[in-house]
Structure 1
Amino acid sequence: MSESGRNAYITGGASGIGRAVAQMLIDKGAKVFIADCDLKGAEAFAAELNKNGRVAFASQVDVMDWEQQLSAFKQAVDEFGRIDYVYPIAGIGERAWLPNDPKAKEFVKPDLTVLDADLTGVLWTVSLALQQFRRQEKSKHGFRGKIGCVASVCGFYCVPSLPIYTAAKHAVNGFVRSYGKYLPEEGITMNAVSPNVIRTNISTGAFYDSLDEQGLLTPMDGLIKAFESMLGSSDVSGEIFEVPPKGSYKIRAAPEYLDEPSERLCQLLERRSHHLHEPK
């Protein structure tokens, strides 16, 4: 399927998953705007993509800084006019959020940088996408725009030593599963891809090598196939695509309701709050 004439905005697009998504879109004929904290890396990748014509643009952005996010997104709008796809991919791995020091005399403020990058940063990117999409006419496929988030295997399962990263990814999954079911009313879709472990810059080469030796490393092409399935005329929204080490991606169903009253209650809550998202 050709994506000629389509434009995409990607955070974390200079490396890892973001880079692979950008390359996939370029190969299909789209243009991309690469927003990354590594400006040199983003510019070098854009230059590589532009060897046969201007199809890629780059800007520096720290997704934890709203003003930087706003500035980069405005640049993309200025370059493209219309943006069809937005991918909030930039993120970081777990770090020590609270010192374990029984001898400490004072209380310390916890380090919630992982939440700032992997949750708040994602929500900021999504908010920019939605505001732009709502100003655009629908495409020939009937959409104003599409959002593809990245969650994680930690968005399904619980890893005891990764509490903040796990909390962030569970939150991303919950956000996509809820808001992603509303957005089609506005001609917008939003899904998330949750890979097991992909070789990126989040961890060390030695760790990835050990997983690869055990057959536990998820290949990038499996992840990209999940993203490809959301392009063009796909009306899938509010879904989480898990990508395992072996085999193809699979859409994971949300947890079942405990019983009929629980399901009915959630339906009533949805109706009660629907007005919060309606056009003014």
Structure 2
Amino acid sequence: MSGFAYITGGASGIGRGVAQMLVKHNIKVFIADRDIDGAQKVVDELNKDSQVASCAHVDVANWNSQAKAFSQAVADFGRIDYVYPIAGIGERVSIPNDPSATGFEMPDLTVLDIDLTGVLYTVSLAVQQFRKQQPGKNGLRGSIGCVASVCGFYCCPTLPIYTAAKHAVVGLVRSYGKYLPEEKITMNAICPNVIRTNISTGAFYDTLEKENLLTPIEGVIDTFEKLLDEQTSGEIFEIGPNYKQQGAVVRKAQEYLDKESQRTFEVLYHRGRPLHQPR
């Protein structure tokens, strides 16, 4: 196996693990991360034996920043076969809670900017590049592997913006991911429960670990590995604390209320299809 990959958030956590896995399969990686020092450290580790990785500083919530880095990756590699929008952050105060304040403050939607808009930017870059490429040996122009969260289908009342962003990513994959195979492109999402990364505090992770509630990062990496050359698309894979016993569980979308609702969406599919055809 061989190829070229673009990863956001590859300086640590899941992104770092995915980069390591890809290199084992002779896939060269380009890491885009706001932590350029961390990204460079990963690149140096991966390049110990041969030149297989490079990186760039990127603000995923900024289109120009992502486009510049992605263009550099294309220039370095000639083509991109795998794209992983992994960069993300956790919930923060969005609506100020100060009853004594005068006037109104704009909500902080940074989480939405990074966890949703940033993903949409990465997906857009990937699809535009894939459309320019001929299919590879696996018959695909390219594959996209998103990292969402179990908050993409479960709801946490105190994490509203994060939950909204992850619901949106799941909706994107379940919808667009079912269309993209028409263009020989696949897109899936992995939704892990809580993994020990740098998105939260050590004390929070320690609390979960005491109750055996942490999800092994290997579950995400293993599932992405199994999807490398699969034709599967538009699927959501849940990875939970019991991954070693349960494996990756495919979470199906909501069933239609009735046959009329199903038929309505068949009509909607054909109405929207021209939006994705060549101009």
Shorter-chain TM-score tier: over 0.9
> Aligned partners of 2:175, 2:22: CA distance in 1, in Å?
27
Q: State the partner residue of 1:56.
A: 53
Q: State the partner residue of 1:219.
A: 216
Q: State the partner residue of 2:278.
A: 279
Q: State the partner residue of 2:157.
A: 160
> Aligned partners of 1:244, 1:35: CA distance in 2, in Å?
27
Match of 2:138 among 138, 141, 147: 141
Q: State the partner residue of 1:111.
A: 108
Q: State the partner residue of 2:228.
A: 231
- The number of equivalent residue pairs is 276
Q: State the partner residue of 1:262.
A: 261
1:204 matched to 2:201? The reply is yes
Counterpart of 2:70 in 1: which secondary structure? helix
Q: Alpha-carbon deviations, 1:203-255, whole Å to 9, x = none?
A: 011111111111110001111111112112x1100011100111311111001
Give ranges in structure 1 of 5+ residues lacking alignment.
none
TM-superposed CA distance for 1:273, in Å, is 1.0
> Aligned partners of 2:42, 2:223: CA distance in 1, in Å?
23
> Aligned partners of 1:230, 1:204: CA distance in 2, in Å?
31
Q: State the partner residue of 1:41.
A: 38
Q: State the partner residue of 2:237.
A: 241
Alpha-carbon RMSD across the aligned residues, in angstroms, is 0.7
Give ranges in structure 2 of 5+ residues lacking alignment.
none
Counterpart of 2:21 in 1: which secondary structure? helix
TM-score relative to the length of structure 1: 0.97
Identity level (%)? 64
Counterpart of 2:91 in 1: which secondary structure? coil
> Aligned partners of 1:140, 1:164: CA distance in 2, in Å?
40
TM-superposed CA distance for 1:259, in Å, is 1.0
Match of 1:17 among 11, 14, 18: 14
Q: State the partner residue of 1:190.
A: 187
Q: Alpha-carbon deviations, 1:44-70, whole Å to 9, x = none?
A: 110111010100001100101111101
> Aligned partners of 2:102, 2:29: CA distance in 1, in Å?
51
